[in-house]
């Protein structure tokens, strides 16, 4: 199902025909490549273009929420060789928006990247696509061929003086390659390990050249921003949180999937669009921005609106917009064990605190879950996370630490129960009912 529900659709307007509507003809029929043509034919200046994106307050959709226009303005004007890179290495557990975006509307990404290339003065771009979505990579290659054939890529695009080409590159599924400098290393054929910053990619990026890296959804939003104007786009959302955003809702809801809503939409509305809680069960907790975002208990999240500022105020992160919904059948210790295993498995091994700490965290949580916890373990976990956070080259150590700290903070009694009674607070029978093996509502 391509599209379930949406409010004010922009990015998802092309999804209604599902797999039938991704081609260049359909995209053009939807007004696609019109903005590229306008930019080139009107000889829009790079500064005006960047100013428009700044006005929209489009913030990076990959998770960090950095203002896109500002990022573009960091690119040195004089450099002869520059790159734009699209980060479609969507590896954050719970996130699947870029996959669908690339599947149903790849040309929006291509058009956004070409316009970005124009704005920052790049001659070439790369789209780094997650290894596990190989069909999407293949479709993107096809889309590139279509765009090239139609004259949107290559030399003197649409008869202008602007030349730009775009290449697809697929990874092999390492989470760390979603970190922008790890991604650059990977494109260069090296082991995907983040680089120390500074220098930032805007100065020393792909092959040592100035590079702008944005998320897939960020690029896809560009043609729509230019179409409606930065001001109008901003007004779709709320101040400092421009536009609409895709949310990947997963977990214990009736209709998991991608939902495009304006920034600032209440969480309760999003939950309603996703069909509400499965089996009518009680909401227990939500991870609002992908697995590395701190978990929020039901009462906190129900008061939040879905935008960067509101979620941050509640003590978590909007991140990539992956909303993981957990109901009362979930054992929080078991959930954390799974998350900790992920970070233990995906740490690149470069920095000492993350390499050693991520395994330590997992082993202790695993022990607690398996009835071998000790009373001092919660303090130990907090201490280890404290020693990991902010001490590594990239944010993976923090990403491994946040779930541990937030799970313990909000669900401490459950952990204590586990340690004391050597079993789950939520009895196994209830857990099994919620696991999804049983039809919703059958209980």
Q: Which residues here bind other proteins, judged by CB under 8 A?
A: 174, 176, 191, 196, 198, 344-360, 363-364, 367, 380, 383, 386-388, 390-393
- Pairing outcome for strands 165-170 and 296-297: unpaired
| Minimum CB distance to other proteins, residue 70 (Å) | 20
CB nearer to other proteins: give 175 or 267: 175
Separation CA 333–CA 249 (nearest Å): 22
Name the 3-class secondary structure at 224.
Answer: helix
Give the burial string for 41-78 (b: 16+ CB within 10 Å, else e): eeebebeebbebbbbbbbbbbbbbbebbbebbbebeee
| Minimum CB distance to other proteins, residue 351 (Å) | 5
| Minimum CB distance to other proteins, residue 358 (Å) | 6
- Is the bond preceding 255 in cis, omega lying within 30 degrees of 0? no
CB nearer to other proteins: give 346 or 369: 346
CB nearer to other proteins: give 382 or 431: 382
| Minimum CB distance to other proteins, residue 205 (Å) | 18
CB nearer to other proteins: give 292 or 347: 347
Question: Residue 215: beta bridge partners?
Answer: 87
CB nearer to other proteins: give 325 or 361: 361
User: Edge-to-edge strands of the sheet including 322-327?
Assistant: 257-262, 244-251, 322-327, 283-287, 296-297
Give the burial string for 225-259 (b: 16+ CB within 10 Å, else e): bbebebeebbbbbbeebbbbbbbbbbbbbeebbbb
| Minimum CB distance to other proteins, residue 281 (Å) | 35
- Is the bond preceding 198 in cis, omega lying within 30 degrees of 0? yes
CB nearer to other proteins: give 90 or 377: 377
Separation CA 194–CA 180 (nearest Å): 7
CB nearer to other proteins: give 326 or 351: 351
In Å, how far are 59, 103, 310 from 257, measured between CA atoms? 22, 14, 22
| Minimum CB distance to other proteins, residue 137 (Å) | 22
Separation CA 341–CA 365 (nearest Å): 9
CB nearer to other proteins: give 214 or 347: 347
| Minimum CB distance to other proteins, residue 396 (Å) | 9
Name the 3-class secondary structure at 286.
Answer: strand
| Minimum CB distance to other proteins, residue 260 (Å) | 34
Torsion angle of the four alpha carbons 238, 239, 241, 242, in this order, in degrees rounded to the nearest 10: 80
- Decide if 174 contacts 134 (C-beta within 8 A): no
| Minimum CB distance to other proteins, residue 387 (Å) | 3
| Minimum CB distance to other proteins, residue 405 (Å) | 15
Separation CA 271–CA 21 (nearest Å): 27
CB nearer to other proteins: give 43 or 422: 422
CB nearer to other proteins: give 108 or 174: 174
Q: Which residues contact 254 (CB under 8 A, 6 or more apart)?
A: 274, 275, 276, 277, 278, 440
């Amino acid at each position: 199902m391509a599209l379930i529900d949406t409010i004010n659709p922009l990015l998802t307007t092309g999804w209604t025909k599902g797999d039938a509507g991704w081609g260049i003809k359909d995209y053009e029929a939807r007004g696609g490549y019109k903005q590229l043509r306008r930019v080139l034919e009107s000889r829009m200046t790079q500064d005006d273009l960047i100013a428009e994106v700044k006005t929209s307050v489009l913030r990076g959709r990959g998770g960090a929420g950095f203002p896109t226009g500002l990022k573009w303005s960091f690119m040195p004007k004089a450099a002869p060789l520059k790159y734009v890179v699209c980060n479609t290495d969507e590896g954050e557990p719970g996130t699947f928006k870029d996959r669908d975006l690339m599947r149903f509307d790849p040309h929006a990404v291509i058009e956004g990247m070409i316009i970005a290339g124009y704005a920052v003065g790049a001659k070439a771009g790369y789209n780094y696509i997650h290894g596990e979505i190989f069909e999407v990579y293949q479709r993107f290659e096809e889309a590139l061929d279509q765009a090239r054939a139609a004259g949107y890529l290559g030399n003197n695009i649409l008869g202008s003086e602007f030349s730009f080409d775009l290449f697809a590159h697929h990874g092999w599924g390492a989470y760390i390659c979603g970190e922008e400098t790890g991604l650059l290393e990977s494109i260069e054929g090296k082991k995907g390990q983040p680089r120390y910053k500074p220098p930032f990619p805007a100065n020393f990026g792909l092959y040592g050249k100035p590079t702008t890296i944005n998320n897939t959804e960020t690029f896809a939003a560009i043609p729509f921003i230019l179409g409606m104007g930065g001001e109008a786009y901003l007004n779709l959302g709320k101040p400092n949180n421009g536009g609409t955003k895709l949310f990947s809702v997963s977990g214990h809801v009736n209709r998991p999937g991608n939902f495009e809503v304006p920034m600032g939409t209440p969480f309760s509305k999003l939950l309603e669009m996703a069909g509400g809680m499965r089996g009518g069960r009680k909401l227990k907790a939500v991870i609002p921005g992908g697995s590395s975002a701190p978990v929020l208990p039901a009462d906190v999240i129900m008061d939040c609106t879905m935008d960067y500022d509101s979620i941050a105020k509640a003590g978590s992160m909007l991140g990539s917009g992956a909303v993981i919904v957990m109901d009362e059948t979930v054992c929080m210790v078991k959930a954390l064990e799974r998350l900790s295993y992920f970070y233990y498995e995906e740490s690149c091994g470069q920095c000492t605190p993350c390499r050693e700490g991520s395994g330590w965290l997992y082993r202790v949580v695993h022990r607690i879950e398996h009835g071998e916890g000790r009373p001092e373990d919660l303090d130990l976990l907090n201490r280890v996370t404290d020693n990991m956070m902010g001490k590594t080259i990239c944010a993976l150590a923090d990403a491994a630490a946040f779930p541990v700290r937030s799970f313990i903070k909000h669900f401490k009694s459950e952990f204590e129960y586990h340690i004391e009674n050597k079993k789950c607070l939520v009895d196994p029978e209830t857990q099994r009912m919620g696991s999804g093996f049983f039809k919703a509502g059958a209980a």
